[in-house]
Amino acid sequence: MSYLTGLQQQHISILGAGISGLAAARYLKAHDCHVTVYDDRAHQPNLEALQKLGVTVCYQEFDACLLQQSDLIVVSPGIALSHPALSEVRARGIDVIGDVELFARINSKPVIAITGSNGKSTVTQLVGELLNQSGISACVAGNIGLAVLGGLFQDSHENYDVFVLELSSFQLETLESLRPLSATVLNISEDHMDRYNSYKDYIQAKHHIYRNAALCVYNSDDQYTYPEVKTAACIDFSVKSNRSAFFFNHATQEICFDSKLYGGDSNLISPTGAQHFNTLSMRDIGITGLHNISNIMAALALISPFNIDFATLKPLINQFKGLPHRCELIGTQDGIAWINDSKATNVGATVAAIEGVAPLCKGKVILIAGGDSKAADLSPLSAIVAQYVSTVFVYGKDADLLMQVIPNAEPVKSLNDAVTSAQQLASEGDVVLLSPACASLDMYKNFEARGEHFVQLVNDLSTNKSSSGGSI
């Protein structure tokens, strides 16, 4: 009997009526489960959609007495397992899992699993596009948009060859049953410290992705990504060392890797005694920055089990332009480049953005940062800003905290003021980089809304200039 068959006619409680909760309700209801959805938010998300499914919906505080009547509880990623009601029902032996764990118990298709503090959406999207355009049908899901159970529910899911999943630390907390064909932790920097008791707990949650993986892909430049027990095959990548399986040759500006990883003969030796390498020139890459070099290497390593002809991948990588709000070049005005990196909601992302952008900048780097730091340690910004950034404008909830680690930072009241100030300061050859190092929720609905506002403000600069007779 399959796991899904065993769930039929059972009473399943879903906590959280957001994207993942709605997808779980739809999937389980379609398979004859008795479903109740609980959500403790006042605005009652997805009420109409849930009512159409015919599930019971309760918008109220989570009650352990009610939940203990469940055969299974599926908790949405945004709800911590430490919630008192969940702690109580778990103590009574009721199975509490996330939607990814439920997916893992049901799914029979190969999975590529991707996590990391930064870059995971870019790598997930790139992996999906490389597979799909190489004739391997891939469903991209998880933290990137489509809920994992939404991928199973689609009519076309039986035709998928593989699921490519972006997974957050929240989603990984309850994960035990997933058996990825390949899995990676791209990088780790402090994030979500308002959720975890310690940095170590956050790292451990990320490392759940390596459990049962056939191939572990890790970043040799970041010791926190190393699999603790290397019981599976491992491939590493690096932009700093040429001793990794995938590495970046700074002299030739090429990504290099051993031919054997794509079905080549690893015994082929050149006249100089060097091993034969496949190479990918920066000229063949459609996105820029050292952090994106790492992302490309990780993607290539993750799909290596499929033995795709590498020659077919080069033009596909060139066509990939990245995702919005991730070091996205909005445009150049009067020789000033404006870059939208609103997705940089933690310090590690901003450090990576500065390290990636600064070497390409002919003039000054002007940084705009601020928002809700989520109780993270902001001190790593000090050295990188001192090395590469000429001026920092800070705003939002934790502007004062940013000024403590960047003493010369200039406070402004809003993103609008930051853009105006940056325009007045910048000159030809400079880069203005929005890379907040903080979440957006103190002032915006999400990082997308913040990025869209930044794009609009920059576009307005062009419009105002044009209306006054200026030129770009």
- From the list 198, 331, 212, 314, the residue with the least C-alpha distance to 262 is 314
The domain containing residue 381 runs over which residues? 328-465
Query: Residues 80, 209: one domain?
Result: no
Q: Write the CATH number for 403.
A: 3.90.190.20
pTM, rounded to two decimals: 0.83
Instruction: Show the tokens assigned to 117.
Output: 């503090």
Amino acid at 306: F
The catalytic residues are: 120, 143, 192
Give 287-337 as a DSSP string: S-SHHHHHHHHHHHHHTGGG---HHHHHHHHHH----TTSSEEEEEETTEE
Tens digits of pLDDT across the chain (472 residues) = 589 889 988 999 999 999 999 999 999 999 999 999 999 998 999 999 999 999 999 999 999 999 999 999 999 999 989 999 999 999 999 999 999 999 999 999 999 999 998 899 999 999 999 999 999 999 999 998 899 999 887 665 678 999 999 999 999 999 999 999 999 999 998 777 778 889 899 999 999 999 999 999 999 999 999 998 766 799 999 999 999 999 999 889 899 998 777 755 444 333 344 456 789 998 888 787 788 899 999 999 999 999 898 888 989 998 898 888 988 888 899 999 999 999 999 998 999 899 988 977 889 999 999 999 988 899 999 999 999 999 999 999 999 999 999 999 999 999 999 999 999 999 999 999 999 999 999 999 999 999 999 999 999 997 766 443 332 2
Q: Write the CATH number for 56.
A: 3.40.50.720
For residues 470 and 394, give the distance between their C-alpha atoms in angstroms, rounded to a whole number: 29
Asked whether residue 139 is assigned to any structural domain, the reply reads yes
Domain closes at, from 35, 69, 97: 97
Query: Residues 27, 89: one domain?
Result: yes
Query: Residues 197, 312: one domain?
Result: yes
Asked whether residue 472 is assigned to any structural domain, the reply reads no
Number of domains in the chain: 3
